[in-house]
Structure 1
Amino acid sequence: MVRPQFTEKYGAMRFYYSWFILSLTVLLSGCNTTPYDKATIYYDRAQFPAQIIRDHPTLTDPILQHGRCSLIIATPGSNTGTYYFCTYALTTNGLFVQGWDAKTLKYVEIVHVELSMLKTISICSFLRTNQLQLTEERRQMALSASIDEGGYVDTAATERLFEAIKSKGVFVVKSEGMMRPPAPPAQMFIPIIISK
């Protein structure tokens, strides 16, 4: 014979366990959102070459590689810089990096790098993240290619980009570590002491 207290306790535990699982499911379902880079930077692999040439008539060389990316721009020797979501297009002579202007429906140039003007390049790997680091005389950049769906670094595409630029005779150096965007401002807590 089952004691009534045990049955009541078991029923309450089942209720709380079911409630916990339901709450966890609801909370985790809210985490399935569009990656921020896909939401803000338009990119269609099939139509991108034609569209970028239309938006930038100066881009006359054939496009060898293209895709989504993230970019950090800093001064040489710095490991912190301004962060951008972007698309890139590698040609035989240059690397074009651009953002997206949703008002004009055009790609807007962030940076144009002439490969002949590069002093050094390097690649930095940390876990599953690769970062192509390009240094000019007065500018340093770190670019990571992303998958077409956004949200994740495409390590293979970043390595292909590195190899293509290296094949142009750019001097390769060892990376000094990952470049990062600036840390967000932290709240300051100032204690107020009131004497009696």
Structure 2
Amino acid sequence: MRYFATSLLLSMTLLLSACNTTPYDKATIYYDRAQFPAQLAKDYPGLTGPILQHGRCSLIVSTPGSNTGTYYFCTYALTASNLYVQGWDAKALKYVEIAHVDISALKNIALHTIFRTSQLQMTEERRQLALSASIDEGGYIDSSATKELFEAIKRKGIPVVKSEGMISPPAGPSPMIIPVVITK
């Protein structure tokens, strides 16, 4: 009985220690769906035209042909001719640009889907972007919003190509084990 109680206590401690109350993207990127267009227009005076679609996202920026790149939590806003991707500067209380994509300058786009995860891949002359829309509460990929964004850009006449696989952020550091063999 004592071992059962100890193992139960250890199991509960392990389970509760892994809890995360707020998704990291929600904690680092401010996003209020109702106020977002007005806030973005204030932070980007050059923003022209109405915002057709917007939301939270994760973005990977890399070079064309690469399958890894720099990872950002972000928000996005699609207008008739541009896609604005921005992060949040908590000190200045405003959005800061991560990427500005002129849709007419895109060479091609692709949609890569694995189970419930979708990634919109956009290739320019010298840059490749992989964007996945997230739900408003953060923490989960919104596959349907990513597909809607893909369809909206595809309707602009951008060539669609087959994806060569998911573009991923760099792998985290891991310990390196080097066996040392000492002969006698």
Normalising by structure 2, we get a TM-score of 0.93
* Residue of structure 2 equivalent to 1:32: 19
Equivalent-residue separation in structure 1 for 2:92 and 2:112 (angstroms): 36
SS in structure 1 at match of 2:141: coil
Equivalent-residue separation in structure 1 for 2:61 and 2:101 (angstroms): 12
Equivalent-residue separation in structure 1 for 2:118 and 2:177 (angstroms): 37
Equivalent-residue separation in structure 2 for 1:175 and 1:43 (angstroms): 30
* Residue of structure 2 equivalent to 1:98: 86
Larger Rg: 1
For residues 151-188 of structure 1, what are the alpha-carbon distances to aligned partners after superposition, in whole Å with 9 as ceiling and x for unaligned?
Answer: 11000000000000001111011100000111123333
Question: Quick one: which of 67, 79, 82 aligns to 2:67?
Answer: 79
For residues 17-65 of structure 1, what are the alpha-carbon distances to aligned partners after superposition, in whole Å with 9 as ceiling and x for unaligned?
Answer: 2333343233322333111111111111111111011111111210011
* Residue of structure 1 equivalent to 2:163: 175
Equivalent-residue separation in structure 1 for 2:81 and 2:69 (angstroms): 25
Question: Quick one: which of 13, 21, 28 aligns to 2:8?
Answer: 21
CA-atom RMSD in angstroms:
1.6
User: Shift of residue 126 of structure 1?
Assistant: 1.1
Change in CA separation of 1:192 and 1:174 when aligned onto 2, cut-off 3 Å: closer
SS in structure 2 at match of 1:145: strand
Equivalent-residue separation in structure 1 for 2:19 and 2:44 (angstroms): 35
SS in structure 1 at match of 2:56: strand
Q: Once the two structures are aligned, what percentage of the paired residues are identical?
A: 68
SS in structure 2 at match of 1:137: coil
Question: Quick one: which of 54, 57, 70 aligns to 1:66?
Answer: 54
User: In the alignment, does 2:106 pair up with 1:118?
Assistant: yes
User: In the alignment, does 2:77 pair up with 1:89?
Assistant: yes
For residues 103-133 of structure 1, what are the alpha-carbon distances to aligned partners after superposition, in whole Å with 9 as ceiling and x for unaligned?
Answer: 0011000000001001100100112110000
User: Shift of residue 191 of structure 1?
Assistant: 5.1
In the TM superposition, what are the counterparts of 1:157-196 in structure 2 within 5 Å? 157-190=145-178
Question: Quick one: which of 79, 82, 96 aligns to 1:108?
Answer: 96
What is the identity, as a one-letter code, of the residue corresponding to 1:86?
A: C
Normalising by structure 1, we get a TM-score of 0.87
